[in-house]
Amino acid sequence: MLPSAVTEDLRRVVGREAVIDAANDLRIFERDGSIEGAVPDAVVLASTTQQVADVIKIAARNKIPIVPRGAGTGLSGGAVTIKGGIALQVTRMRRILEIDTVAQTALVEPGVVNKELSVVAAQHGLFYAPDPSSQNACTIGGNAAENSGGPHCLYYGVTTNHVLGMEVVLADGSVHWVNGDTPDRIGLDLCGVLVGSEGTLCAITKIKVKLLRIPPSVATLLAAFPSIETASQAVSAVIGNAIVPAALEMMDSVTVGAVEAHYHAGYPTDAGAVLLVEVDGIEESTRELMAAIGKILSSNQGYGLREAQTPGERELLWAGRKGAIGALGRIKPNYYLHDGVVPRSRLPQVLSAVGEIGEHYKLPVANVFHAGDGNLHPNILFDMRDKQVMPQVESAGEEMLRAVVELGGTLSGEHGIGLEKNAFMPWIYGPDDLDAMHRVKDALDPDAMLNPGKVFPDPTSERVVHLAGRTGLAVEAKWW
């Protein structure tokens, strides 16, 4: 609980109803989309940049941790207030301030929902490319904080490739505009530092993004494969033939069964895995590319190839893919996933390791992921009401990430490090690398009050990282 004087200061800034401190109400903000949880001392619902700045000044003056929070769809614990303090909710800041059809840009507040931006932009023949599967709920501010990806980021790039500039509030409450109006930035690339900083360096209050012209032609193909290994080989074959589709997604048999039962999108439930492939551009180009892709998939044991014939059929196929994780609730009520990335050529090996780890811990695992760029999403399915299962779930997730790193991969492709992977950072970064990152944090947030305990190994935590077991390693590390 915050001191009463601090709570009154916050209410003077944002209004009495915009400060939440009742115990039952705070429970709503205990979690994001991850399995970790911690109740904040207060939630502040800011509506303007000035309110964000004033709230951060109050927190800085009183040495109170502050955690910027969007829609709470993040999957790495980035919005969890593990040190207590204030959850600074910015979803009331949801205006699309400008669509510039000549420059093909949009200026938005952080609470604008991802899908809403493309819907509004479409009225001008434009769209916003980064499209996380949670795009019906996630916000542009949260996407910028986590450097989110999505199915179409194989071709178009992740969020950082589309952010031109941002208005941010630093840890002292000062407001700054960083970068400019073009992707070719002159001087220090502050956007490159702040996009993906997961709320540890600033709070984002406005974002200027680039928009793209809606392509005149889109083709979407569904292909079945006898196994996840053959589907993985087909992915490598497509890219190896110098074809980079707009999207190249994979789902295993467990996921396909859940998706088809819910969406009835025509996914083949007899398949060991399916690929969803999309290309766009001018009509002649999409026809040629899809024909070439079809031949490659067929020569790699693909069967039942089906191209969407109408926009409605295409939307249904994508509804199944983007709603896949929700559909897994038909199997178990909870899931735990990491988004490690491996070279595409290592997909068969890492997926085999994922399967073995799931079997070892007797936990069902469903795979749905961005196959084109090797970005895994193994979903460990469980019931959180069974308290005894949690240690197995966490150990299985850790071993899966370790398998990713051992195969030349990295910890995250789009979900961020946050709380769930911060203890693993020394797996891929040496002491000098971590020190350099810490110095950036110290320069912008010297009192470590912005989203503390995230990204870096937490020196106050007694979390034990077990590296022994099915990864073949025998190492144990503690961070305290």
Span 403-457, pLDDT tens digits: 999 999 999 999 999 999 999 999 999 999 999 999 999 999 999 999 999 999 9
The gap from C-alpha 455 to its chain's centroid, in whole angstroms, comes to: 14
CATH of the domain at 221: 3.30.70.2190
Return the pLDDT at 460: 74
- Residue 289 and residue 403 in one domain: no
Segment 48-96, tens digit of pLDDT: 999 999 999 999 999 999 999 999 999 999 999 999 999 999 999 999 9
Amino acid in the structure at residue 251: M
Domain harbouring 37, CATH code: 3.30.43.10
Per-residue confidence (pLDDT) for residue 459, from 0 to 100? 77
Q: Is the pLDDT of residue 34 over 90?
A: yes
Whole-number Å distance between alpha carbons of 12 and 225: 61
Query: What residues make up the domain containing 203?
Result: 96-213
Mean of pLDDT values over 214-221: 97
User: What percent of the chain lies above the pLDDT cut of 90?
Assistant: 92
Residue 160 and residue 196 in contact, taking contact as beta carbons nearer than 8 Å: yes
Could you count the other beta carbons within 10 Å of the beta carbon of residue 233? 18
297 and 363 share a domain? Answer: no
Has residue 469 got a pLDDT over 50?
Answer: no
How much is the average pLDDT of 12-28? 97
User: Do 205 and 221 fall within a single domain?
Assistant: no
- List Cα–Cα distances, 370 to 272, 322, 422, in angstroms: 17, 11, 23
User: Are 131 and 73 contained in the same domain?
Assistant: no
277 and 347 co-located in one domain: no
Among 72, 89, 106, give the residue marking a domain's end.
Answer: 89
Identify the band that residue 169 occupies on the pLDDT scale cut at 50, 70 and 90. Answer: very high
Letter for the amino acid at 456? F
- 188 confidence band (pLDDT: 50, 70, 90): confident
Q: Which residue among 37, 69, 89 closes a domain?
A: 89
pLDDT, position 476: 34
Q: Let me know whether 17 and 108 are in one domain.
A: no
Same domain for 339 and 298: no
Q: Where are the alpha helices (H) located in 365-461, listed in sequence order?
A: 390-406, 431-444
pLDDT, mean over the chain = 93
Return the amino acid letter for 117: L
Name residue 101's amino acid.
T
What integer pLDDT is reported at residue 1 of this predicted model? Answer: 87
Residue 400 and residue 297 share a domain: no
Q: Based on the domain organization, do 320 and 286 belong to the same domain?
A: yes
| Predicted confidence (pLDDT) per residue in 108-157, tens digit | 999 999 999 999 999 999 999 999 999 999 999 999 999 999 999 999 99
pLDDT tops 80 at residue 213: yes
Regarding whether 243 and 231 lie in a shared domain, the answer is yes
pLDDT above 80 (res 480)? no
Same domain, 378 and 349: yes
**For range 464-477, the mean pLDDT:** 35
- Quick one: tokens of 290? 């899809």
Any idea of the CA torsion for 266, 269, 274, 276, to the nearest 10 degrees?
20
How many CB atoms are closer than 10 A to CB 166?
Answer: 23
Q: Of 32, 62, 89, which residue constitutes the final position of a domain? A: 89
Percent of the chain clearing pLDDT 70 (strictly above): 94
Transcribe 206-248 into DSSP letters: EEEEE-EEPPSEEEEEEEEESSHHHHHHHHHHHHHTT---SEE
In this predicted structure, the answer to whether residue 462 has a pLDDT above a threshold of 80 is no
In sequence order, what are the residues at sequence separation of 6 or more whose Cβ sits closer than 8 angstroms to the Cβ of residue 229?
A: 348, 351, 352
Segment 452-465 shows an average pLDDT of: 77
Q: How many domains does the chain have?
A: 4
The enclosing domain of 141 has a CATH number of 3.30.465.10
Q: Are residues 48 and 150 in the same domain?
A: no
| CA separation, residue 152 to residues 20, 49, 235, 246 (Å) | 38, 31, 15, 5
Dihedral sign, Cα of residue 200, residue 466, residue 252, residue 242: positive
Q: If you average pLDDT over residues 249-266, what whole number do you get?
A: 97
